[in-house]
Structure 1
Amino acid sequence: MAATPPIAELTDRARDIFRRVVDGYLEHGVPVGSKTLAQAGLNLSPASIRNVLAQLESLGLLAAPHTSAGRMPTEAGLRLFVDGMMQAHEPSADERAQIEARAGVHGPVEEALAATTAALSGLSACAGLVMVPKREAVLRSIGFMPLGQGQALAVLVAEDGAVENRVVALPIGLPHGALVEAGNYLTATMGGLTLAEARARVERELAAGRGELDAAARALVERGLAVWSEDGARRPVLIVRGQGRLLDDADAADLERVRGLLDDLEGKQEVAALLDSARAGDATRIFIGAENKLFALSGSSVIAKPFRGQDGRVVGVVGVIGPTRLNYARVVPMVDFTAATLARLMG
């Protein structure tokens, strides 16, 4: 396939007609015909307009889905429009207020991230996405609850109120008192530390014989530390909100594509990898259709923007996913503003 020509290679007439076709398609979702363009004040005959449309089609910027239909932008045409012709519309004061209000939700930071992503989804009519590294929680307490059949539930409570559970295999013949003793010891030793810091401290104390535990409680402490460290503590947290909006906006002919997109969103590891590719640099990344293999079949676009913490390092990526027929001029600045809001939240 030939490379997409730069916008400067198009004549003024071709640029004007191309922009009108893209604007009309993005607004109404149907191909734009020469008759519609002739009625839009172009001061050109339908024959002249058809000639320009044919040239734009030969360049791979427009396509005619049916013989008698008008033209719609190809993915290459959308890329040219987004990169060279789009005039961004900043979020309104009300839109900014909605995003900032949801980012101010009290409680664990993941709840604020989820609420902000839901607000972005509602305002953009897309599915909202946010990905952040698994944050190392500062611990408040750890306790053990018996489950029976040689298992216990290790319950970790963080300073921000977040609670996580893990199932721990119990040593044979472990007395109930050892569960209490191990939990009290870990809470006293680990409180106010991250899991990595607490693990290092406990291991030092046990190695030096300073941990005043009997053998059974000591074995439980070691197993508890192991199970808290072994699973996906370093995997990123991916939050997706508003998938249903993709179905709401789809017509009957588009439902199969949207179902494919929803299936793609279930594969969160692949989506996380896509968002992770947007971490480099500060610019907003726009993936259109087949430009990304993950969403090639569902014909979807992703707009993503990294956000930074107080130390200047990238701490996450926020964005939206929807059909290629997005209002890019409105949604791109909205994603930018949400990224700036989350940067303040994570700072």
Structure 2
Amino acid sequence: MEFKTAIIGCGLISQTKYLPIMTCLKNVEVVGICDLNKELLWSVGKKYKIKNLYTDLEQLLKEQKPDIIVVATPTKTHCDIAVKSIEKGAHVLIEKPMALTVEECDKIIETAEKYNRKVGVMHNQIFNPAFLKAIESVKGLQIGKFVGIRILLATSIDDFPSDKNHWTHKLPAGVIDETGPHGIYLALAFLKNVTSLNVRFKKLLDEYPWLIGEDFEVQLEGENGLGSIRFLYGSKTTDTWIEIFGTNGFIKVDLQSRKFLKFSRPNLDAKTILFSELRVIFQSTFNLIKNSLGYLFSLKINPHYNGIIKFIDWISGKSDYPSDAKQGREVVRLMEKINKEILKIKDKKNC
């Protein structure tokens, strides 16, 4: 079956992810794209040879009757676009975060249930091959029972944090509103029923007064363990490391290099340490060869590609989708709490 698909929003994420991937899939026909910026719309349409160009969503829905709508627009528009698309019979894949508020998420979910449509959220790094392997390992008890997770997300200061005119600085809590959902959904892949969270942050670099802080830490408590997420914006490095702890060992994942390492060191005698280090060397070498071949010859190394394929399989009834609307809502719920805590701390510091 070929799915008629339309992409709403022609910005960077559509140009670098959705359009290059979806125009190459045999079971997808991109029947139209939509953006309010006519110049951008025409430029992107020409680049990807898409004939049907729209500045009006409702006209696109009426004329093309798409099976799938991809929402890749500013977050404040997600709810309205998703609801209108679902009402016209489309399944919807929304770029993270799902919406601005829990109330908007609920509206999308209620509409999807009413019209029997499916809604997925592109929490892309869930579909990173190394992260998928970590999930399988934890489910298979390869490191014993899960007890906790620690995540580091570092965004280079030379990226958008140092650009005072970047749109992220206009968000309520600033840059963490943009990268925060990534840390939350990665933690929620393992933590169940998060009941409480704590936030702290530090302002370190006076030369960037538009940043609320450059170092943030979010601590989560779930019924099956604890999680810690560190967001760094003051370093000249971009990195995402995840450590997953079990009763018999732990896993370390580098999302950028797609590296998966499993550690087990039951004691500190010389032989145990030696074999532990040899295993790390072997795993690192294997990762290097496998991922190098993947970058050269396979799209499966790309998290967005895997997420899109998984979404299509889901609406086809072939599999589940780990990042559905309810999971998207939970990420938004926790981000609302984080924002509230950050702004409360900020107000106290300004007093």
Please, what TM-score do these two structures have when normalized by structure 1? 0.21
- Bigger share in helix: 1
TM-score, L = length of structure 2: 0.21
Rg: which structure is higher? 1
